[in-house]
Amino acid sequence: MKVAHRALRLFPFSLAAGCILHAAGAPDSLRPWDTYHTIMWVGNSATKKPERLPRFYERLREMGINSVSVGAGANAEPVVAAGLSFYVENLVNRGLCLKFSSNVRDWDKFVTGWARNGRPESALVRDYCLDDPGWRMWAAKEVQTAVRRHQTHRPLAYNLRDELSTTISANPFDYDFSPAARAGFRTWLKSQYRDLAALNTQWETRFPSWDDVRPFTTDQIKSRMAGGGAVPTGAPDWAALRKLKFDPAAAVREPTRWNFAPWADFRTYMDRSLADALGELRRVARELDPATPVGIEGTQMPSAFGGYDLWRLAQVLDWVEPYDIGNAREILGSFMPGRPILTTVFEKETRPARRRLWHLLLEGDRGCVVWWSEDSIDWASDDYALTAKGRALAPVLHELQSPLAALFLRARRETDPIYLVYSQPSIQVDWLLESTSDGPSWYRRFSSHEARHNRLAQDRAAWMKLLQDAGYTPQFVAAEKLPELVAAAAGHDLVVVLSDALALADGETQAVAALARNGYRGHAVLTDGPTGVFDEHGRLRGAPGPLDGFGQTGAITVTRGGSAPAAVSRQIAAYGRERLRSETAPWFEWAETQLGLRRPVRVPSASHTRVYRYQLGGVRLVAFERNITYHMSEDLRQAGGNEALETPVGIAAELEGTAHVYDLRSGRYVGHTDRFSFTLDPWQPSLFAVSPRKIESADLVGWLAQQAQAPAR
């Protein structure tokens, strides 16, 4: 009864919070995505000989492929006749992705020339303005044409565009200064500020009329930073900018220097512009086909540029295929629970592919996209034989469609009440602060650089690894949802982690302060630096705020149960760098002491083992995997440095109470126990069922599958 009572204390809050904190869920009208789809991205070679398509589809099935990509204007009849599912690729081919539809063919050459030619504002006009009614109308017609062509065949999904961006990837550039974008920006500003005087006060500007309002370019905001004057004049003093360091205590004496609102508001508007365009195109598609999800592929890491506010994007997507850079997959997984998330398979060997696809299945992925048919099929052979890559991936793709894998697809994942705050204004402010060292070459701080070097992203990843290594399942929450999260937490455990949360709205800072002041011992606030010192517009707060003292540079601050903030001499980035090559036991002891949360399944933290928990028909499913770094780089290569976790390791797992334990892979009954041991293969997860009653069935997986389909009691 003690274990059951403790479980009831946690789960109601988790479920209630889930109703509040996630982006709007997929409407009930959407067709259920209840099987794992292995999708081949089909290249041109497949259609060069139409008469050989049946052999091609036969080879795909042999490989374990059950679905394919189909172009928006292509004929899907042969695919349907072959018994394969399909999704529709790239409905809008101009405007969303500038890589292939812009006058800029070479981004590096373009921005280099822009700087060499005096950095003219005339170049800051996007080839296709996302606010242009003409482009919007054209894009809507493209979507309508594609949906009408394919809807009768019940496609898996519609992809509006692959690798879309307001720039290229998440590269920094001041798009879009076109007349339509600036007009839309001014209209939006009127919804943010009560009148022009309020805007001028916030921005420290002197615009005489709304028609004169113009955002600051990146050069202009850096000129304000370097010189400290409200009105930028001429080029920034790049030498002074490089020497500039942000110190919250000293910054309040020069608030204008740190007022980024004229720049940050425009970055926010460009995020909104992309999201609004996608939301409108989704609406157009769903008017014709309300059952098929609409989404995008090839998304970037959270960024100040490119339109990559992941919380905002999550509001307008039914599905997504993210590049897992900067924790993007985990962030979108928190914001889009229950909606299809896919990944791209680029591995060529069995073991790495098995490891990552099982990892993503456990995270909630509902399929994968294999890149691509061109190197999976030997097109020169008479029978279209599978290549070495195709043969290597085949066992993995079949395995992910097995009844065992399907259990985890249908189960409800358990999470812990630990929330890392996602703050897009903080990402904007951080970019300005980090890029001071670049001087005049800030425009070359490409997303590939950010993926490897962005400090905020490194801190965020380190927090996730620490919490996962310590045995917890944390999740992300959008900063704007903090007031609702805290309000729902009365009497329930709640830990909020504010990593590099430099910029927060008043309501958000007040909610965090209220959580910290609450005397309930299960409430804790963890920070790793100055917190909420800027408002949501990127303006430095002058007067002491409710979170003063909550964060110190170079230290982690813990505030819990109404106590005063306590700083500890730990830097979270150090854990990210050293977790696999130094003694980390003090970190785990510290985490367990500070968090103080129950862990229904415990393993030694030093083993760096990730623990997943699920509920399926009254039975808990538990998966264990080595907690390697899966995050991609910009060119889709996996991060290295995981060699220390690529050997088998003995694991001793402990449960809160005794239960009947089963090994799901072998079907073996482990026993009625509160602890069990096993050897963890670094290339595939160990999977167990933990049941309050003994399962009297020779077909363990089949019995569990039936429980998943049984009506709730």
The tokens of 495 are what?
A: 């830990």
Encode burial over 277-315: b for 16+ CB neighbours within 10 A, e otherwise.
bbbbbbebbbeebeebbbbbbbbbbbbbbbbbbbbbbbe
Does residue 713 carry a pLDDT above 70? no
Does residue 299 carry a pLDDT above 50? yes
The tokens of 426 are what?
A: 């903080």
pLDDT score at 276: 98
Residue predicted with more confidence, 10 or 24:
24
The tokens of 93 are what?
A: 């081919």
Q: What pLDDT, in 10s, does the model give residues 615-661?
A: 999 999 999 999 998 877 666 666 677 888 999 999 999 999 999 99
Residue predicted with more confidence, 227 or 15:
227
Q: What pLDDT, in 10s, does the model give residues 505-545?
A: 999 999 999 998 888 889 999 999 999 999 999 999 987 77
Does residue 340 carry a pLDDT above 50? yes
Check: CB of residue 630 under 8 Å from CB of residue 498.
no
Report the sign of the C-alpha dihedral through residues 116, 118, 120, 124, in that order. Answer: positive
Measured distance CA(675)–CA(659) in Å, rounded: 9
The tokens of 507 are what?
A: 């309501």
pLDDT score at 555: 83
The closest of 139, 35, 78 to 408, measured between CA atoms, is 35
Query: 712 pLDDT band (50/70/90 cuts)?
Result: very low
pLDDT score at 11: 35
Kind plus residue range of the DSSP H or E element containing 670: strand 669-680
pLDDT score at 9: 32
Check: CB of residue 495 under 8 Å from CB of residue 597.
yes
Kind plus residue range of the DSSP H or E element containing 142: helix 133-150
Beta bridge pairs of residue 687? 623
Supply the DSSP string of 341-398, one letter for each residue: BEEEE---SHHHHHHHHHHHHHHT--EEEES-GGGTB-TTSTT--B-HHHHHHHHHHH
Mean pLDDT in residue range 475-501 = 96
Does residue 485 carry a pLDDT above 60? yes
Does residue 124 carry a pLDDT above 60? yes
Q: What pLDDT, in 10s, does the model give residues 658-671?
A: 999 999 999 999 99
Q: Return the SS3 of 512.
A: helix
pLDDT score at 636: 62
The tokens of 462 are what?
A: 């380190």
pLDDT score at 6: 31
Report the sign of the C-alpha dihedral through residues 129, 130, 132, 137, in that order. Answer: positive
Does residue 14 carry a pLDDT above 50? no
Mean pLDDT in residue range 326-340 = 97
CA–CA distances in Å: residue 393 to residues 36, 234, 351, 598, 684:
15, 57, 9, 39, 14
Mean pLDDT in residue range 317-331 = 96
Query: Could you tell me which residues come within 8 angstroms of residue 381 by beta carbon, excluding any fewer than 6 positions away?
Result: none
Mean pLDDT in residue range 340-367 = 96
The tokens of 687 are what?
A: 């999977």
- The proportion of the chain whose per-residue pLDDT surpasses 90, expressed as a percent, equals 82
Measured distance CA(528)–CA(514) in Å, rounded: 19
Measured distance CA(700)–CA(713) in Å, rounded: 21
pTM, whole model, 2 decimals? Answer: 0.95
Query: 584 pLDDT band (50/70/90 cuts)?
Result: confident
Q: What pLDDT, in 10s, does the model give residues 539-576?
A: 999 877 778 778 777 789 898 877 878 878 788 988 98
The tokens of 432 are what?
A: 């300005």
Mean pLDDT in residue range 290-309 = 98
What does the H/E/C string look like for 157-187?
CEEEEECCCCCCCCCCCCCCCCHHHHHHHHH
Assign residue 384 a region (left: φ > 0; alpha: ψ between -120 and 50; beta: otherwise). Answer: left
**Site of tokens 């204004």:** 425
The closest of 531, 493, 529, 482 to 311, measured between CA atoms, is 482
Mean of per-residue pLDDT scores for the chain: 92
Strand-pair category, 523-527 with 686-691: unpaired
Q: What pLDDT, in 10s, does the model give residues 414-436?
A: 999 999 999 999 999 999 999 99
Q: Return the SS3 of 285.
A: helix
Check: CB of residue 262 under 8 Å from CB of residue 274.
no
